[in-house]
Chain A
Amino acid sequence: MELLLILKNEALKLVKKTRAWLGPILIFILIMVAFPLTVELTSNNLSDAFYPVLFISILLVMMLATEDIFLEDYEDGTLELFFISEKSLSQWVFLKIFMHWLFIGVPISLLGAFFNIGANNDLASSLMLFPALLIATYIFLILFCFGNSLSLTKGSVLGTLITLPLTLPILVVLGKLNTAIIFNISYFEFLILLFGILSIIIFAFPAIISRIIKTHLE
């Protein structure tokens, strides 16, 4: 019951603050629409360049989406309320990240799969890409939220910069997935690897983030 209340609360906050979720989605669309303009019309490089541009733009957009994710709650005292009450801060963090993923990660994954149809004229590869993007956006969101929590009082740039190295192995796996999708080999192995990484960090990181936030509040 309490979980549903927190979920509803976070959903309402996001709905009211439209730029928090719509902004990253629009930036993603802008990048994906703009990049073909930089590629020579007569060249065949568009489909080669598509996957790398897609993954990097998702990385960038997730970085933007988590900017100040905790700052507003830190400034208005919500975090302190959680700290002094008996309520679980890690639960709240988990649900906040989940809501952000629902509002930002899922639409971006859908759009990414849609743009793939446009770039590669291939519905099958889009169907393979979609679950991978769903998992990858969640992983990026969690990692950047971790970074933001570290530099809660010092501005978001420091936090995201120091967690960027942690996202690079995920980009390597996505690159391998790209090859797997194109040649249709070992696709499920890489998808399961991504899912395995997500399953470890999905509950562990909110607990760590809550401890970090408590350190800021002490």
Chain B
Amino acid sequence: MLREILIIVIKKFIHQFASPKTYFYQVNRLYPWLLYISLSIYVFAIIWGLFFTPKDFVQGHSYRIIYFHVPASFIAQSLYAAMAISSAVFLIWRVKLAAYLARSIAPVGAMVTFIALASGSIWGIPTWGTWWEWDARITSTLILFIMYLGLISLHNSFNNFDKADKLFSYLSIIGFVQIPIIKKSVDWWSSLHQPASITISDKPSIDPSMLYPLFMAMIGFAGLVACIVILSSKVQIYIREKNKNWVKDYV
């Protein structure tokens, strides 16, 4: 009895939230708060990291790029994972909103991956003496960037949104195999890129005075990227639901 009630409540909740209309109104309310809070956190973390953390013994002041590069790389991979999960939700439960979200994440993910690669290259010049090296982590991140571009071009080549969403979803789920390869590439192959400083199981190898601003930068950057994804999803909703009455009433 209780189980049936729980199933009905969960289904109703998902059904309600999974409607583009509910999602649209909810994120409109959430967006200003998310933007200002994440912007404040990010700016505070960057100022702390750039000006109030000690110099690194080996890398000098160039290590401060960590407060930009590491959040960007982490978010680039997380965005792909989120996109793959949305795609799976769309394929299994046929939730339209999941398809809209997956499509809206792709361009943002491509942008974040690009700035992660660019900042990594710039960091490589003082640290490794080279702006590019065909090592495991860098190459697999480049592959991730190309995957994002491939997904966007695949979706754009079809006029029928339903077909485009399904094909997009299949490709993004298959491409998800890249994420563990990127994460583990530094451990599996002898690599120029340094191993992960922050892992789930071990103590972080980075000093706490540098670690706290890094965590704050990651949270702030994640919030800002979420705001950009919200804007992108609103664009998708305007494109796909433009003939619906609620959109016309809202506009």
Contacts and interface: CB of A to CB of B under 8 A. Distances in A.
Q: Are A and B genuine complex partners?
A: yes
Given A150-B167, A151-B157, A158-B153, A165 B175 contact: yes
B171 interface: yes
Contacts of A161: 150, 153
B154 A162 contact: yes
17 contacts: A146-B174, A150-B171, A161-B150, A161-B153, A165-B143, A165-B147, A165-B178, A166-B147, A168-B143, A172-B139, A176-B189, A211-B170, A212-B166, A215-B163, A215-B166, A215-B170, A216-B163
A150 B163 CA distance: 10
A165 B113 CA distance: 15
Interface of B: 136, 139-140, 143-144, 146-147, 150-151, 153-154, 157-158, 163, 166-167, 170-171, 174-175, 177-178, 181, 189
A172 B167 CA distance: 27
Contacts of A212: 166-167, 170
Contacts, number: 56
Given A176-B189, A212-B166, 14 more contacts: A150-B167, A150-B170, A150-B171, A158-B153, A162-B150, A162-B151, A165-B150, A165-B175, A165-B178, A166-B175, A172-B139, A208-B174, A212-B170, A215-B163
A163 B143 CA distance: 10
Interface of A: 146, 150-151, 154, 158, 161-166, 168-169, 172, 176, 208, 211-212, 215-216, 218
B82 to A, nearest CB: 19
Contacts of A163: 150
Given A212-B170, A216-B163, A172 B150 contact: no
Contacts of A164: 146
Contacts of A216: 163
Nearest to A200: B177
A150 B139 CA distance: 25
Contacts of A215: 163, 166-167, 170
Nearest to B181: A169
B171 A165 contact: no
A211 B170 CA distance: 9
Nearest to B136: A172
Contacts of A162: 147, 150-151, 153-154, 171
Contacts of B150: 161-163, 165
Contacts of B189: 172, 176
A215 to B, nearest CB: 5
B154 A150 contact: yes
A176 B194 CA distance: 20
B170 A154 contact: no
A177 to B, nearest CB: 13
A212 B181 CA distance: 25
Contacts of A158: 153-154, 157
